[in-house]
Chains A and B, each alone.
Chain A
Amino acid sequence: MSAWVNKWRGALGKTSRNTDAPFIAIRETRATSPFWVMVQKEFGDHIRSWRFVILLGIVTLACIGSLYTAVTALKDGAQTVGGDANFLFLSMFTVSSNGLPNFLTFLSFLAPLIGIAIGFDAVNSERSKGTLSRVMSQPVHRDDFLVAKFVAGLLLIAVVVFSLGFLVMGTGLITIGYPPTPEEFGRVIVMLLITTVYVGLWLNLSLLFSVRFKQAATSALSGIAVWIFFLVFYGMIVNLVGNALMPSDPSDVQGYMDAQNLLTLLSRISPAQLFQEAASTLLLPDVRTLNPFVTQEQAYLAISSPLSFGQSTLLVWPHIVALIAETSLSFAATYLLFMRQEIRSRS
């Protein structure tokens, strides 16, 4: 971390003429200002850390595994469930064989780990090493420190997610042999953006824990606990609630539907569920609704045909908004908590 501070000081030296200048002058040179230096430093630290290399290895292996299943399934001529032959390229992300999970499932399961691993010791380790107070003694804004942590993490996540996405697309090109249409490409890009936001949410959560808990281990454990809760237990809890809510009378269609709708609403609190629904809807253009029920009235005279890109996006727009809002809110909470904390030289 001393290297961190040294580099930072060097950068500060470059902008030292601004230290006595009025506030506005500092803002003008912000692009090369301490904030971006911090972002760069943070980014570099992550890339070079063993933790990240191991995580990246795990995630990449998982993706290659899912890619392999997708390629096998496609070579066997498998059709995706509810898929369309016109969107063969997209099925690279959604098909699977031999019971192995597909790319999306892997992503929704493992991608949060990247976020948690990047963020869980972001603040509290600096604090325990005493580097936080040293940074803060420099003429940087206090919030820049936290925002730099977040932005660096998000950039890293974006790089990873997009690399994986393009890896799959490249393999798809080799396997299928024809390029994606602009629409398919757009769908994949939007899906990758949603993935970035989703992982950003986990990054923010772990940042929150790292601000809240003094011990890095505690914060890591809390992050992993939340992760396991949403990915493993939350579904079970929703099922339990569902069993309790289901009307005993099997002929009570309205009650059954109400209960089912409530369950859907509950399960959508989980960001993992939101992400999966949003991403899979974007990658399966034939999905026309995300409601658990399609009423007879809605199905009457409907033709099964893929939705346009815009309509698919509009269909999952609430999910995207919810993901962005959840991410923003957890960031706001982190921010609030961090700004209210005291920073001492050695606590």
Chain B
Amino acid sequence: MKKLTKPLSGALVLTLLLGALLGGASLAAAAPLLKLFTPYTYLSVSPGEKLNYSIDVINDSDEIRTADVSFDTGSLGWTYELTAGGNRVRQISVKPGESQMLSLSLTVPLEVNKGDYSFKLNAGEFGSLPIKVNVAEQGSYKSELSVDQPNREGHADSKFTYSLTLDNRTASKQQYALTSEAPAGWYVRFSVSGSNVTSVDVEPGSSKSISLDVTPAQSAPADTYPIVVHAASGSTSAQAQVEAAITGSYGLELTTADERLSADITAGKTRNLELVVKNTGSAEITDVSLSGQLPANWEVTFEPKTIRSVAAGQSVPVTATVKASDKALAGDYVANLTASSPEKTASAMFRVTVETSMLWGWIGVLIVLVVAAGIYGLFRKYGRR
């Protein structure tokens, strides 16, 4: 009977012990012969992380104890590795009064829900060690494309550079094709470490930085343009959106209606030049004032003197009235007419050919005629006697 009751009582004790162990550490007063210890039994981790536990197996009895060790992940199926001395271990023996160390590495999967997870390290008849893991954030099994600073501002003729980070949060290596949705006429280029690319390979769990160069269309009007960037592999895809805020480009041109930059003028007289102030940029230009650098004692007036605004791509006709100095020499002079706005300045160089007034020429003809008339008078008076 005694022989019979002994294992029975042993089983009872074991059950009690187990209950005590499960119930709380405080119940460990009913000390088993082989104890399991690890200091951090409740850790908080992120998905994809790897946890390393070192577990002491302590023998409090005075004889060698041997226990089967196993790890129970329940139905979760997380990967783990139980090693001792560099090898996988299934059974461990501990000398009396000594302890042995077990290493447990537990990998948190990427695709995991937020919450607490419980595990047990079983040591056969000597009970088990409960371990709790708190997954602090929602895990994912996906790719992620993030932008450091998604909004950039510049003129239409500047280049926008964004730095993207592509995270592969999947379990396998992925090859991503990079595409973008930009407005027509825009030029988008991906580059990795200085080379232009159309696709990138990313190892699982790692990331790659990609730089995105955006060249806006030349005449893009001032606006904010969203550009969607896609990174797609066979199984996953990610997208991000960057913004290019264009302040518009300023372009001003001063020319004439027929693009001819030369004119004739009679000394001391005026001449009208039909100018055209053209906005060649993509932003509106305001407060254009016209001025001229002319030879000394020349005058120029503009009609209108100032232009309140010129819309992008539009042109405004201006009449410049140039008055040449009456002492100007015959021949060519340079007249520099300028249209200036706070944003941009344009100038046109005119070659003005000064012609001598015909007045003196006619006076000369008149003198010759008077002399001829005088001689004719002489002929009349003396000619036919």
Contacts and interface: CB of A to CB of B under 8 A. Distances in A.
Interface in B303-334: 325, 327-334
A303 interface: yes
Interface SS of chain B = mixed
A332 B375 contact: yes
Contacts of B296: 296-298, 300-301
Contacts of B336: 301
Nearest to B336: A301
Contacts, number: 104
Interface stretch (A86-94, A99-107, A172-180, A314-322): A314-322
A339 B385 CA distance: 9
A95 B297 CA distance: 36
Interface of A: 141-143, 288-289, 294-298, 300-303, 305-308, 310-311, 314-315, 317-318, 320-321, 324-325, 328-329, 331-332, 335-336, 339-340
Contact of B382 (A302, A317, A325, A335): A335
B331 A288 contact: yes
A143 B383 contact: yes
B352 to A, nearest CB: 9
A26 to B, nearest CB: 10
Interface SS of chain A = helix
A205 to B, nearest CB: 16
Top 7 A-B residue pairs of the complex, sorted by shortest distance between their CB atoms: A297-B296, A339-B382, A321-B364, A301-B295, A303-B332, A328-B371, A305-B332
A303 B333 contact: yes
30 contacts: A288-B331, A294-B329, A297-B297, A298-B295, A298-B327, A298-B328, A300-B296, A301-B295, A301-B333, A301-B336, A302-B331, A302-B333, A303-B333, A305-B331, A308-B353, A310-B355, A315-B356, A317-B361, A318-B360, A321-B364, A321-B365, A328-B372, A328-B375, A332-B375, A332-B378, A335-B378, A336-B378, A336-B382, A339-B378, A339-B383
A3 B38 CA distance: 158
A325 B368 contact: yes
Interface of B: 293-297, 325, 327-336, 351, 353, 355-356, 358, 360-361, 364-365, 367-368, 371-372, 374-375, 378-379, 382-385
Contacts of A317: 360-361, 364
Given A143-B382, A325-B367, A314 B329 contact: no
Contacts of B358: 314
Contacts of B378: 332, 335-336, 339
A296 B372 CA distance: 40
Contact of A297 (B295, B360, B385): B295
Given A303-B351, A305-B332, A325-B367, A311 B295 contact: no
A273 B364 CA distance: 18
A321 B330 contact: no
A295 B328 CA distance: 10
Contacts of B297: 297
Contact of A315 (B330, B365, B368): B330
B382 to A, nearest CB: 4
A202 to B, nearest CB: 18
A104 B24 CA distance: 131
B333 A311 contact: no
Contact of B368 (A295, A321, A340): A321
